[in-house]
Chains A and B, each alone.
Chain A
Amino acid sequence: AQRVTQPEKLLSVFKGAPVELKCNYSYSGSPELFWYVQYSRQRLQLLLRHISRESIKGFTADLNKGETSFHLKKPFAQEEDSAMYYCALSGGGSQGNLIFGKGTKLSVKP
């Protein structure tokens, strides 16, 4: 079954500390993986996608097919990074058909 697992509901770190938001997936084939972010009172927005291999707001994520993981990392957390983060996968060739994890709330303390 296709599934995305985000094991942590809440992750709390201090400003300047490294951050790693975990995401594991289950999919037979070659999925496309995404990270979406939702800041307080804002709509869900795309943070990054694995095929772009780009860094957005200092965040990076590497697809590890062996471990079926797509963890989101940032070396130095900022207070403005506090938000809800969702990992998602697309297996049907359409970005409109996404399977989301339950999300991790990141809280960055001053």
Chain B
Amino acid sequence: ETGVTQSPTHLIKTRGQQVTLRCSSQSGHNTVSWYQQALGQGPQFIFQYYREEENGRGNFPPRFSGLQFPNYSSELNVNALELDDSALYLCASGAGTISYTFGSGTRLTVV
């Protein structure tokens, strides 16, 4: 059984650019959630995907978008990057009442 894997682990982008982060869900999990964790803060819910559809969204602007693929893996896309987007982005997968499993995260730095 494999856990949740995220790629890349780190990346640096310039303000105004676009970025795509990837997440492979744990085997048997059909739902993926994305979180943003700024320095010194707890994770903040961005959105959740279930059966390739967005199934819940937090207080994030439309430039944060996502995809879920038939194999339940997922992407988080952020357009028009801002300095405040610098954070650790966490992916978590789960199914039904099974507790969610978190990935190690992608550290995004916007300069």
Contact = CB atoms under 8 A, between A and B. Distances in A.
Interface of A: 4, 6, 43-46, 49, 86, 88, 92, 94-103
Given A86-B42, A101-B42, A102-B40, A96 B99 contact: no
Taking residues whose C-beta sits less than 8 angstroms from the other chain, chain B's interface range is 20 to 34
Given A44-B90, A49-B99, A96 B42 contact: no
A46 B100 contact: yes
B65 to A, nearest CB: 17
Listed from nearest, the 9 A-B pairs whose CB atoms lie closest are: A100-B42, A96-B33, A44-B102, A96-B48, A43-B104, A46-B99, A100-B43, A97-B56, A102-B42
Interface string B64-105: 000000000000000000000000001010100111111111
Nearest to A51: B97
A86 B43 contact: yes
B2 interface: no
Interface in B14-61: 31-33, 35, 40-45, 48, 55-56, 58
Interface of B: 31-33, 35, 40-45, 48, 55-56, 58, 90, 92, 94, 97-105
Nearest to A38: B102
A102 B44 CA distance: 10
Contacts of A86: 42-43
A45 B100 CA distance: 9
18 contacts: A4-B42, A6-B42, A43-B105, A46-B99, A86-B43, A95-B97, A95-B100, A96-B31, A96-B56, A96-B92, A97-B45, A97-B58, A98-B43, A100-B35, A100-B42, A100-B44, A101-B42, A103-B42
A94 B32 CA distance: 11
Nearest to B42: A100
A86 B42 CA distance: 7
A78 B55 CA distance: 40
A102 B41 contact: yes
A97 B77 CA distance: 19
